């Protein structure tokens, strides 16, 4: 047995040696054999470049470059300048003596501001924030293709912090409006703007919350909250969905450091568009007003007044001879619906009343003690500077 094993091992060794010699000196003898032994290798080599060239034709997983490519040309940088304020002590020789050239330099240098904007029509209309251009003497818009143009202020609405600008350039890229009503918490969004003046930047995140209000930022608040990074300079820029459609105008962040902490707010494009149309058409935004002083209904107040409801807005004051008074509203009434729209807090009441058309009559449902009644309230136009807490 041992002798047989020795003969077998020697034969294998000789066969391997012969195969090595033939493969080295006469490889063509093995050509036919190779074609049958290595079909998978040949197949892999042939298929590999086909797979590589086909990748760009299909969507790249976890990439939003198509949305960014579609939206970024319409997002612009806005540079504003304000004339330097002349100090009351400018001609005071002692002031000049103590502060010298530094004082004169500070008085002569204009204040420069940076922000962002969004082109929403091919004829040159832009949306941005009111606080971006507020008080500016000169406004310049810079496109991603390098073109620059001075901008004219069409109108502003401080109550929503929306401003509309217009530039005169040809072949302008306009963004497509998205549907904010279809947006849901968890949807992917991109924030596009010019943070800190470093240049156009795209950040990604999700819709963190919808309908944020009572933040004390604007009079009318219905913010989209997102964790996409928004920093100083992003104000007025675009918040877009995963398809590159405009969902909102970035306007504010919650931050203790001045940088993004993942809590940013954007004005819904539905609100911005409504404001823009009013400013372009009439030069102002027309809103409804009924003349009441509201307060959120708390469980304690509801229990005190023995109310059968838990949500609504308590009316603590009614303007004498105002629209609400003419419609029969009284202090102590709790508003639960405005023209069919439920209201649960003062912010929602303000928004619902503002959406009413002046010179019409609105049905307002109130709870008066243990009775639910409907009032026919005439709607007036909201004054430019209403009394504080007056709705």
Instruction: List, by residue number, the catalytic residues.
Output: 131, 161, 235
For residue 14, count CB atoms less than 10 angstroms from its CB and return exposed for 0-12, middle for 13-18, buried for 19 or more.
exposed
- b/e sequence 214-240, b meaning 16+ C-beta within 10 Å: eeebbbbbbbbbbbbbbbbbbbbbbbb
Kindly list the distances between the CA atom of residue 160 and the CA atoms of 259, 269, 303, in Å, as whole numbers in the listed order: 23, 12, 35
341-342 and 334-338 strand pairing? antiparallel
For residue 169, count CB atoms less than 10 angstroms from its CB and return exposed for 0-12, middle for 13-18, buried for 19 or more.
middle
The beta strands (E) that lie in 83-173 are given as: 111-119, 125-129, 138-142, 148-150, 152-157, 162-166
What radius of gyration do the chain's Cα atoms show? 34
Rounded Cα gap, residues 218 and 71, in angstroms: 27
What are 136's two structure tokens?
A: 């500016």
DSSP reduced 3-state for 291? coil
DSSP reduced 3-state for 162? strand
Rounded Cα gap, residues 292 and 136, in angstroms: 35
What are 362's strand-pairing partners? 377
DSSP 70: H
- Sorted by sequence, the CB contacts under 8 Å of residue 186 that are 6+ apart come out as 206, 207
What are 8's two structure tokens?
A: 């077998």
Q: How many helices (H) and strands (E) are present in the chain, helices listed first?
A: 10, 21
Spatial CA neighbour of 79 closest among 115, 48, 118, 51: 115
What are 209's two structure tokens?
A: 């919350």
């Amino acid at each position: 047995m041992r002798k047989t094993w020795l003969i077998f091992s020697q034969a294998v060794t000789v066969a391997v040696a012969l195969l090595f010699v033939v493969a080295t000196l006469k490889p063509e003898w093995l050509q036919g054999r190779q074609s049958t032994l290595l079909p998978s290798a040949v197949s892999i080599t042939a298929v590999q470049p086909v797979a590589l060239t086909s990748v760009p034709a299909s969507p790249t997983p976890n990439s939003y470059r198509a949305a960014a490519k579609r939206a970024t040309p319409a997002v612009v940088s806005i540079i504003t300048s304000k004339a330097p304020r002349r100090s009351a002590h400018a001609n005071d020789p002692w002031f000049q003596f103590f502060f010298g050239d530094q004082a004169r330099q500070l008085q002569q240098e204009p204040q420069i501001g940076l922000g962002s904007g969004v082109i929403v029509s091919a004829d040159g209309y832009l949306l941005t924030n009111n606080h971006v251009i507020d008080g500016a003497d000169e406004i310049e818009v810079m496109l991603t293709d390098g073109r620059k143009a001075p901008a004219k202020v069409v109108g502003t609405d401080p109550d929503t912090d929306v401003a509309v600008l217009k530039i005169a350039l040809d072949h302008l890229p306009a963004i497509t409006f998205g549907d904010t009503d279809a947006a849901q918490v968890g949807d992917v969004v991109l924030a596009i703007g010019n943070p800190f003046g470093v240049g156009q930047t795209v950040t990604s995140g999700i819709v963190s919350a919808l309908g944020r209000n009572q933040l004390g930022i604007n009079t009318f608040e219905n913010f989209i909250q997102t964790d996409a990074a928004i920093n100083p300079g992003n104000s007025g820029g675009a918040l877009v969905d995963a398809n590159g459609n405009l969902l909102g105008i970035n306007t504010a962040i919650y931050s203790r450091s001045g940088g993004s902490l993942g809590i940013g707010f954007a004005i819904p494009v539905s609100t911005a568009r409504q404001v823009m149309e009013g400013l372009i058409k009439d030069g102002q935004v027309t809103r409804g007003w009924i003349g009441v002083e509201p307060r959120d209904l708390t469980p304690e107040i509801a229990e005190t007044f023995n109310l059968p409801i838990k949500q609504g807005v308590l009316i603590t004051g009614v303007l004498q001879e105002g629209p609400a008074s003419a419609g029969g509203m009284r202090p102590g009434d709790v508003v639960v619906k405005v023209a069919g729209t439920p209201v649960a807090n003062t912010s929602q009441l303000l928004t619902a009343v503002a959406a009413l058309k002046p010179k019409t009559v609105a049905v307002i449902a109130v709870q008066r003690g243990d009775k639910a009644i409907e009032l026919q309230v005439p709607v007036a136009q909201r004054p430019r500077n209403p009394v504080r807490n007056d709705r």
